[in-house]
Structure formats: C-alpha cells, structure tokens
Chains A and B, each alone.
Chain A
Amino acid sequence: MSERIDKWFDNRIEAYVDGDLPDNELRMFEARMAHDPALEAAVDRAVSVLDGLGEVPRYACPVDMAERVERITTGRPQRRKVARPLFGLAAAASACAVAVALWLNAPGTVTDADVALAASPTEAELAAARSELALALSYLDKAGDLATREISEQVVGGGLIEPIRQSVGGGRETAS
C-alpha cells in the first residue's frame, strides 16, 4: 500500500466513524477496510474512543471551560483553535472531560476565585443568586431614595447649597 493511499484513508477514518462519508468514498473505504487489517484496527480504535466517551456522565460544560482551565493552570489565555471535525460532538465532550481532569489535577495555584469561575452553578444556586441580586438592587434603590429625601429636606430647609456632587471632580464631603 502506498503512503499516499494510506494518508487518503487515514484522513477519512473520522468521517467514516461519524457517518459523514459520501457514498462513493464510503464504498471505497469499506472495500479497502475489508482487506486492510491496519485500517480496520484504526477504525476499531476510533469506535472504542467514541464508546468510551458515551459512558462519561453528561454534565453541562461551559463553552469556555477549556480556556478557563488553561488560564488557571498557566496564567495565560488559551489560543483559539479551529475545532477538528473528528467525532463532532464527542470531541467537544472530550475537551470538556480533559479540561475537568486538568482542573482537578492543577498544581496548587488555584484560588477560591478560580474555582468559583470554573464551577457551574446549579439552577437552585442561580435562583438564589437572582433573589440576592433583587435584594441588593432594591437596597441600592432605597439608598438612592434616602439620599434624594435628605438632599431635598436640606435644600428646602436652606441649610445646604450643594449637598450632591455628581460623580467626577465633585469635591469633598458636605455635612450639615
């Protein structure tokens, strides 16, 4: 078997396992596999990988998980990579599993904040966070109302000319 033909078939193992080969290439591939034990073994290995991935529990994995893990473990952002067509969705699941494994085995540079960034909250945690957010923003609104009321009272009372400094360059504290 020539090297060029080897490469042609090698390049199509992934598509074959994924069922993505066009009919004409499928016929050629299966014909070759019928009398090429090495090609058949390569296909078997690819199928085993897919089967193994199928047994991995399916957890939601953030789309940028791998990038986060690399940032945690190396301190630099991951370069964007073009996704390989091999195994399609299984490849994504595999990347996620590898990312989790890397994270679990990362050296002792991981901070609480990093762990928090890497973990996905449950729906219950998100609901609780939503309630806490509503609470915090409501208190912020209440503080704004209190400020407005105090300022109004002092301005109406004539005791304060400039009680409010809008943001930048406003100066220092004013007290009655």
Chain B
Amino acid sequence: MASAQSDQPGYVDFGDLTGTVGVEPAVEVSLGPALLRFLTETVRQEEPELAQALGGLRGIRLNVFQLDESGVANAQKRTRNIVERLEADAWEPAVSVRSEDTMVHMYMKMVDDRVAGMTVLTIDEGGEALFMNIVGEIDPAQLGRVASRFGVDLDDIATGDF
C-alpha cells in the first residue's frame, strides 16, 4: 500500500529485522508525518529550535535490539547488506567506522544539496543493534543539538523505568 513515508527519497526499507536477528526489538519507534506535524505545532511556542528541527521531517523509525552472539552476527550481516544498498542508491556516508566488536554507519541522502534522509546503523560491544531511518528535510547539526538535550536515560529502557 502506498505510504507518504516510503515515497520519500530518504526512506529506507530495513526489511524483516526481527526475522533476521531472531528477537523482538527492545525499543521500537515509528512516527509518521501526521504525528510529527502535530508534535511540531505543539512545541513551536516553547521549543522553537525543536519545532524547526522537526518541521521538515516526514518520519522517524527506530528499532533497537539486544542481541546474543549469533544475533550480533546476523545483525552485522544485515547491516552490511543495508550499507551496500545505501551506497548503490547514492547515499553519502557521513560516518562509517568499524572495529572488532563495534560498527557505526551514518548515511545521508542528498537531494538538490539538501539532506532528505538519514540512516543510522550501529552495533556496539554490548550487543545492542540500532537501525534508524529519519525521513524528510534534515539539518543534521540542528538535529544533533536538539537530540543532545533530551537526555533520556537509555539504561532505564531495559528496566522499564522510562
């Protein structure tokens, strides 16, 4: 079925992540254009920079998995596969770094010299795998500044205190 997000150049289909890594996501976020628009309006007065950062977004999708060794191997394989597709689709690497037990990829989709999408893929040494796709017009620096202010204690997510 047609979707306002998937029609966008910054959209990335991650496929069946749960099937790939063998577990349900520990965290799953999916914000579509309508909710983002309403959120933007609700914060416009008190948090203008956040509103500005959100203003061009069409979607945010996030899946975080806590994986064992075999899950990590499968996630690494899927990540490499996604990276290959991104590069084939002319996504630009902003950060791409890999060590023995850690992988970080941040890619941008450029359209007419503007960022039209961002994809973040990470696997850390603790077995946490993150797949994130932000769709829409993005100012990465502004989004980074805004993101650093939220300060959600992510360690509490696993314990359900959030």
Contact = CB atoms under 8 A, between A and B. Distances in A.
A18 to B, nearest CB: 30
Contacts of B32: 113, 116
Given A125-B35, A146-B102, A176-B99, A171 B93 contact: yes
B157 to A, nearest CB: 7
B49 interface: no
Interface string A55-82: 0000000000000000000000000000
A114 B33 CA distance: 10
Contact of A144 (B93, B147, B162): B147
Interface residues of A, number: 48
A172 B87 contact: yes
Contacts of B82: none
Contact of B5 (A113, A126, A132, A154): A113
Contacts of B83: 173
Contacts of B31: 129, 132-133, 136
Contact of A133 (B33, B60, B99, B102): B60
B150 A137 contact: yes
Contact of A112 (B1, B39, B98, B104): B1
24 contacts: A111-B2, A113-B2, A116-B32, A121-B34, A130-B42, A132-B29, A132-B60, A133-B31, A135-B162, A137-B147, A140-B120, A140-B143, A140-B144, A146-B104, A150-B99, A164-B95, A166-B94, A167-B108, A167-B110, A168-B92, A169-B92, A173-B83, A176-B98, A176-B99
Which 10 A-B pairs give the minimum distances between C-beta atoms? A113-B4, A138-B152, A137-B147, A141-B147, A173-B96, A175-B98, A116-B34, A147-B104, A111-B2, A132-B29
